[in-house]
Amino acid sequence: MWNRTTVLVISVILAFVLGNVADAQEQLASQAQRRGSRSLHQFQSNDGTVTFTNRPEKYKHRTDYIEIDIKYERIPLPPQYTPTPRAQPKIVTDESLRGIVTRYATIYGLDEALVYAVIRAESNFDPNAVSSAGARGLMQLMPGTAAEMGVTDIFDPTQNVAGGTQYLSKMLELFKDKKLALAAYNAGPENVKRHGGIPPFKETQHYVKTVLAFEQAYGGGATRPNFTVLAARNYAARPTANTPPPSAYTVHFHSGLSQPADKVEDREPYWYIHYGNRTYPVRKELVKHVEEPA
């Protein structure tokens, strides 16, 4: 029979052990929460407001919100890939472009004719193209999106097409419709969701028709299409129907690139870059400096 002293000692030991277990469980839960905080989810309300959160359970079961699910992966590069010096203007030929497009169209399950059509509409096959919004390269990637995919040289044809085809494939997965996917590639998925279809932007409506016409032309007939790709030249802005006004902010990335912004919001662990009708969440670790209005 245990005496009171023995019972008291056992009780103290149990309390100590249980306390350590509780502390360990709390630490594990805290670690899990921190790991979960690295995953960003995007939701849009019925009125079009876009919300980014690392606590998706708050919105998943609400009828007035829909989730826009986009998760980027690091672009796969071929074993024989050799990058050109970053400061050197890029050159792409018909032959090299065909190899690049075939590889990444296969990886992401896209029709090659559609990839060629997007490249034609976006940059007219100029690997050094820069738009007034800051998009760059053959498929006009935005610097923040490119960085999220692990693109280290946004003008490099291989890396640019790898990133552009991944993004296009994700738009097709999200909308299950080619026209809507193209509209999302041009205007952003949040605008397609907000308007319940192709947004009423003249540029986007024209873009969708243009890409589909190019796709039909490149896909017609049994012979492979011939391209006249542009030789290396100084960076030139892609012509746009409506040139946006000067931005209030400039976001500088560690990659050496920059992106204009109308507004930049600080919400740990992301910068939220607002430009025109688009909102881009970018991890802070990818941003070197946010230049504010003078």
Q: Does residue 26 have an active-site annotation? A: no
In this prediction, residue 255 carries a pLDDT of 83
Residue 284 lies in a domain: no
Q: Which of 155, 151, 186 is nearest to 171 (CA)?
A: 186
More confident site: 15 or 80: 80
8 and 124 both lie in a single domain: no
Of the chain, the percentage scoring pLDDT greater than 70 comes to 73
Give 285's DSSP letter: G
Q: Give the CATH number, domain containing residue 185.
A: 1.10.530.10
Give the rounded distance of the alpha carbon of 54 from its chain centre: 17
More confident site: 91 or 233: 91
- In the chain, the number of structural domains is 2
Structural domain including 149 reads 44-236
Residue of 26, 57, 112, 122 with catalytic role: 122
18 and 121 both lie in a single domain: no
Q: Which residues contact 136 (CB under 8 A, 6 or more apart)?
A: 129, 130, 142, 143, 146, 154, 155, 160, 257
Across the strands, what pairs with 290?
A: 251
Residue 27 lies in a domain: yes
Cβ-count burial of 107 within 10 angstroms (0-12 exposed, 13-18 middle, 19+ buried)? middle
Cα torsion through 93, 122, 205, 132, rounded to 10: -160
Q: With residue 169 as reference, give the H or E element that holds it.
A: helix 157-175
Mean pLDDT to the nearest integer, 196-201: 92
The C-alpha atoms of residue 257 and residue 143 are separated, in whole angstroms, by 7
In this prediction, residue 31 carries a pLDDT of 44
In this prediction, residue 190 carries a pLDDT of 80
Give 57's DSSP letter: G
The C-alpha atoms of residue 293 and residue 141 are separated, in whole angstroms, by 25
**CA diameter of the chain:** 96
Mean pLDDT of the chain: 79
Instruction: Tell me the pLDDT tens digit for each residue of 272-291.
Output: 888 887 777 788 899 999 99
Core vs surface per residue 78-88: b (16+ CB within 10 A) or e: eeeeeeeeeee
> Is pLDDT at 231 greater than 50 in this prediction?
no
123 and 20 both lie in a single domain: no
More confident site: 37 or 264: 264
12 and 108 both lie in a single domain: no
8 and 119 both lie in a single domain: no
| Stretch among 80-84, 107-111, 174-178, 200-204 having the lowest mean pLDDT | 80-84
User: Of 236, 254, 280, at which residue does a domain stop?
Assistant: 236
Residue 88 lies in a domain: yes
139 and 220 both lie in a single domain: yes
Residue 272 lies in a domain: no
